[in-house]
Amino acid sequence: MILPPQHPLAAGRTTESRLVRAYRGERSDTTPVWFMRQAGRSLPEYRELRVGTRMLDACLDPAMAAEITLQPVRRHRVDAGIFFSDIVVPLKLVGVDVEIQPGRGPVFGRRYADAAAIAELTAIDPASLDERAEPIREAVARTVAELDGIEPATASGASDGSGGATPLIGFAGAPFTLAAYLAEGGPSKDHLAARTLMHADPGAWRALMDWTADLSGRFLRAQVLAGASAAQLFDSWAGALSLGDYERHVAPASARALSHVHDLAYATGDADASGEPATLAVPVVHFGVGTGELLGAMRGVGVDAVGVDYRVPLDVAAERVGAGVPLQGNLDPALLAAPAPVLEDAVRDVLRRGTAAPGHVFNLGHGVPPETDPAVLTRVVELVHEAGA
């Protein structure tokens, strides 16, 4: 399906942005940069806005979600907004009993770790998300309308005068990461309940994974159709798995989630071999923590770019994912609190190693720690734009 004409990719507003070009494996005037968890507790303007509003209520308030998404773009002049939401929002929307506890994470009213509980959960039709996703569509549309007026920044933070817009990245949780929470009923260290279930009852596991795949896939599709120019699938906890278990019990469901967006395409302006207008699919990035052993397989679920955590240097990651794959990452978030010269050396090292990939999007190896000084993040953006040229 060709994206609607007003979509930023279809209208050509973000098609040549640094971010979208990097995900296509192209280099621009400089290296694009954004940060996982760039919106959130590191920003005083976020903490102020969130007073008295619970996390999931904030996600479902379109004006608030849009404003929170825009805060780090205005402040840091990053090359993309990441939609302010959460991986459990689609579950909440279809009626699952879930809350996000501050300092802890998603907590469910019960655990889904056996066939009976999973049968109850999967009796909910994932398609019911489509009609309930209106707050998401509205928040994305509001955000994109504002981002349309924010041109990419030069190294000094000034607008670059290109007339282009800042792209929005939509996201969803991958089936395993969601199942890790669902099986446990909340956060856990080793995701033991999910890892047991996939072996103890492969049928129930498969049902749970297919269901979460369809729900996450629809959540992602809603964001892209409403205006997101790229999509990131977060399989944050996939690093808990062996390669064999990942390939057998997890990768097929991640591919299924992404099948919900693979048909969404924009015209490149060129003609293909048969003279028809050439199209490209919306770029998809796949990220997980501690996934050094899985990088090749994560690429294999059908993504354009792979996000790398801080444990594997990007030049090593480039070999593991195979030739021609753009990479995203991977400054250790711990370095944000280190003395400036140490941090600057680390940023330059990431940029240098990132040249091993055809396209590089600078990011952290995981989310921004809440106690980070926002001025440091702004400085990192300037340095990446300056040194990444």
Binding site for ligand CP3 (CB under 6 A): 36-41, 55, 82, 84, 86-87, 100, 102-106, 171, 177, 234, 236, 367
Count the neighbouring beta carbons within 10 Å of the beta carbon of residue 202.
12
Whole-number Å distance between alpha carbons of 306 and 310: 13
Residue 319 CA, chain-centre distance (Å), reads 23
- C-alpha angle 335-374-154 in degrees, rounded to nearest 5: 95
**316 φ, ψ to 5°?**
-70, -45
Q: Which residue in 24, 27, 29, 37 is the catalytic one?
A: 37
CA atoms in the 13 A half-sphere facing the CB of 292: 10
Q: Which residue in 24, 27, 41, 311 is the catalytic one?
A: 41
Among residues 29, 37, 21, the alpha carbon closest in space to that of 76 is found at 37
Q: Which residue in 50, 75, 142, 320 is the catalytic one?
A: 50
In the complex, the smallest distance separating the C-beta of residue 36 from ligand CP3, rounded to whole angstroms, is: 5
Q: Is 37 a catalytic residue?
A: yes
8 A C-beta contact, residue 194 and residue 176: yes
Whole-number Å distance between alpha carbons of 185 and 106: 8
In the complex, the smallest distance separating the C-beta of residue 230 from ligand CP3, rounded to whole angstroms, is: 13
Beta bridge partner(s), residue 259: none
| Closer Cβ to ligand CP3, 36 or 327, answer by number | 36
- C-alpha angle 260-286-184 in degrees, rounded to nearest 5: 85
DSSP string, 189-222: SS-HHHHHHHHH-HHHHHHHHHHHHHHHHHHHHH
Contacts (Cβ under 8 Å, ≥6 apart) of 151? 159, 160, 161, 162, 163, 164, 165, 166
Could you give the angle at which helices 202-226 and 134-147 cross, rounded to 10 degrees? Answer: 40
Q: Tokens 């349309």 appear where? A: 148
Q: Is 86 a catalytic residue?
A: yes
Whole-number Å distance between alpha carbons of 115 and 268: 47
| Closer Cβ to ligand CP3, 55 or 264, answer by number | 55
| Closer Cβ to ligand CP3, 55 or 198, answer by number | 55
Structure tokens at 147: 């981002």
In the complex, the smallest distance separating the C-beta of residue 389 from ligand CP3, rounded to whole angstroms, is: 26
| Closer Cβ to ligand CP3, 234 or 246, answer by number | 234
In the complex, the smallest distance separating the C-beta of residue 287 from ligand CP3, rounded to whole angstroms, is: 8
In the complex, the smallest distance separating the C-beta of residue 236 from ligand CP3, rounded to whole angstroms, is: 3
The amino acid occupying position 325 is V
| Closer Cβ to ligand CP3, 105 or 296, answer by number | 105
| Closer Cβ to ligand CP3, 86 or 146, answer by number | 86
| Closer Cβ to ligand CP3, 172 or 282, answer by number | 172
Q: Which residue in 181, 246, 266, 310 is the catalytic one?
A: 181
In the complex, the smallest distance separating the C-beta of residue 211 from ligand CP3, rounded to whole angstroms, is: 18
Whole-number Å distance between alpha carbons of 45 and 319: 41
In the complex, the smallest distance separating the C-beta of residue 222 from ligand CP3, rounded to whole angstroms, is: 15
Q: Is 41 a catalytic residue?
A: yes
Residue 5 CA, chain-centre distance (Å), reads 24
The verdict on whether omega for the bond into residue 363 sits within 30 degrees of 0, i.e. cis, is no
Q: Which residue in 86, 235, 304, 309 is the catalytic one?
A: 86
Point out the residues that are catalytic.
Answer: 37, 41, 50, 86, 181
